[in-house]
């Protein structure tokens, strides 16, 4: 039996730090990897990698109630019990007989209380389709990604589904690395992105919000016992805050994987649907190659460089 693939998750304390751009470059630099876009609320890795979908699956993260008007007697029990105010008496104002209760699908939390206590069994409680997930081919290997529906929840469960499928594909293909574009922030999708991973790379930027959010996301990684490195993107826009971030990172026990300079080539590469390391050799592309080298070193040794 082949060894379990290692999982590298790239995350950030906030959106817009350049996390996905760095993941796209890592995908180009990796000899072999299965890719997973776990930023399911705002997935955009596909914009650079141009995946060709070979398989798609519906995603159901829970259940949702629906009133059957043919069985509903308008007794009002469901409205009385719903703590989320998701059930309303509705219908033509001039036709009392045609009026019934209905469930607001946005407000419904899927608890099932209304269906359980309906005396007429007039409320159906069925799995809700919250989005889709895909297996695709890219020029850098297989990729698992997803699209969550508008105003839908359970993104943490969808992240777990994407990660599990990526791991399965890596094992099936004999590939030893799963490269994951994680969710930003510190909520459930982030926890689902990093739990059980081998290494986390935290991408931050030299701003006050970047400084603050780095501390929060570093604590999440520490809480779950995930080794973490930090990369400061666009560091030269504010060298003073960059130095402060590096000091704070050290206080959190984080090792620096390197700095990446600001470079308009990233934008030019994205316009061409390329990672910046595919677009040029020097500039920030060279910085990213150095960060990738540090990351691969840590993955290969199972520890950060300072642990040697």
DSSP conformational letter for 294:
H
Number of domains composing the chain: 2
Does 194 fall in a domain? yes
pLDDT at 96 over 70: no
Q: Give the whole-angstrom CA distance, residue 138 versus residue 61.
A: 27
197 and 51 belong to one structural domain: yes
28 domain residue, yes or no: yes
For 64, residues 6+ apart whose C-beta sits below 8 A from its C-beta are 103, 105, 108, 110, 125, 126, 128
Q: What is the mean pLDDT of residues 201-218?
A: 90
pLDDT at position 278: 95
Identify whether residues 284 and 211 lie together within a single domain: yes
Domain harbouring 106, CATH code:
3.30.70.20
Does residue 41 have a pLDDT over 90?
no
Tokens of 290: 């150095």
What pLDDT was estimated at residue 185?
A: 85
Grade residue 93 by pLDDT with cuts at 50, 70 and 90.
low
Question: Are residues 246 and 261 both part of a single domain?
Answer: yes
The whole-number average pLDDT for the span 7-36 is: 92
Same domain, 155 and 235: yes
302 and 156 together in one domain: yes
Structural domain boundaries, residue 22: 6-60+136-307
Mean predicted confidence (pLDDT) in 63-88: 89
Residue 1, in any domain of the structure: no
**b/e per residue 250-283 (b: at least 16 CB within 10 A):** eebebbbbbbbebbebbeebbeeebbbbbbbeeb
Please tell me whether residues 89 and 38 are part of one structural domain.
no
pLDDT at 105 exceeding the cut of 90: no
Residues 66, 123, single domain; the answer is yes
Among 90, 108, 128, the domain boundary falls at 128
If you average pLDDT over residues 173-195, what whole number do you get?
A: 90
What gap in Å lies between CA 240 and CA 220, rounded to an integer? 26
Is 170 found in the same domain as 33? yes
Average pLDDT over residues 36-51: 88
Question: How many CB atoms sit inside 10 A of residue 223's CB?
Answer: 11
296-300: long-range contacts at Cβ-Cβ below 8 A with a sequence spacing of 24 or more? 298/199, 298/227, 298/229, 298/255, 298/257, 299/6, 299/8, 299/177, 299/198, 299/199
Do 168 and 44 belong together in one domain? yes
* Residue 38 contacts residue 163 (beta carbons within 8 Å): yes
Q: What is the mean pLDDT of the chain?
A: 88
Q: Is the pLDDT of residue 306 over 50?
A: no
C-alpha 55/C-alpha 216 separation (Å) is: 36
Same domain, 68 and 55: no
The pLDDT value recorded for residue 1 is 35
Tell me whether residue 76 is in a domain.
Answer: yes
Whether 227 and 119 map to the same domain: the answer is no
The pLDDT-based confidence of 60 (bands split at 50, 70, 90) is: confident
pLDDT at 305: 39
Q: Same domain, yes or no, for 87 and 180?
A: no
Query: What pLDDT is recorded for position 49?
Result: 92
Residue 34 has pLDDT above 90, yes or no: yes
Last residue of one domain, picked from the residues 94, 128, 162: 128
Residues 6+ positions from 284 with CB-CB distance below 8 Å: 260, 261, 262, 263, 265, 266, 276
CATH number, domain of 301, equals 3.40.50.300
The residue out of 128, 144, 175 marking a domain boundary is 128
């Amino acid at each position: 039996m082949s060894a379990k693939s290692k999982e590298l998750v790239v995350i950030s304390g906030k959106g817009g730090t350049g996390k996905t751009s760095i993941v796209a470059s890592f995908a180009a630099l990796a000899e072999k990897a299965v890719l997973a876009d776990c930023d399911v609320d705002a997935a955009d890795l596909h914009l650079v990698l141009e995946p060709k979908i070979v398989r798609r699956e519906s995603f159901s993260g829970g259940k949702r109630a629906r009133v059957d008007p043919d069985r509903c007697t308008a007794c009002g029990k469901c409205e009385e019990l719903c703590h989320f105010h998701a059930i309303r008496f509705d219908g033509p104002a001039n036709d009392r007989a045609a009026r019934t209760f209905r469930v607001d699908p946005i407000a419904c939390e899927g608890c099932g209380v209304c269906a359980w206590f309906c005396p007429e069994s007039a409320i159906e409680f069925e799995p809700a389709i919250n989005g889709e997930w895909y297996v695709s081919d890219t020029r850098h290997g297989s990729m698992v990604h997803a699209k969550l529906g508008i105003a839908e929840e359970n993104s943490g469960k969808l992240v777990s589904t994407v990660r599990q499928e990526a791991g399965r594909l890596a094992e099936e293909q004999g590939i030893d690395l799963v490269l994951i574009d994680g969710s930003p922030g510190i909520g459930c999708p982030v926890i689902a992105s990093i739990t059980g991973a081998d290494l986390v790379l935290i991408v931050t930027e030299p701003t006050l919000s970047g400084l603050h959010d780095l501390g929060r996301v570093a604590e999440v990684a520490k809480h779950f016992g995930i080794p973490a490195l930090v990369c400061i993107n666009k560091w030269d826009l504010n060298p003073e805050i960059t130095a402060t971030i590096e000091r704070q990172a050290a206080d959190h026990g984080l090792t620096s994987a390197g700095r990446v300079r600001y470079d308009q080539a990233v934008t030019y590469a994205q316009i061409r649907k390329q990672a910046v390391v595919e677009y040029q050799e020097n500039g920030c592309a060279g910085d990213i190659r150095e960060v990738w080298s540090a990351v691969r070193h840590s993955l290969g040794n199972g520890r950060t460089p300072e642990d040697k």
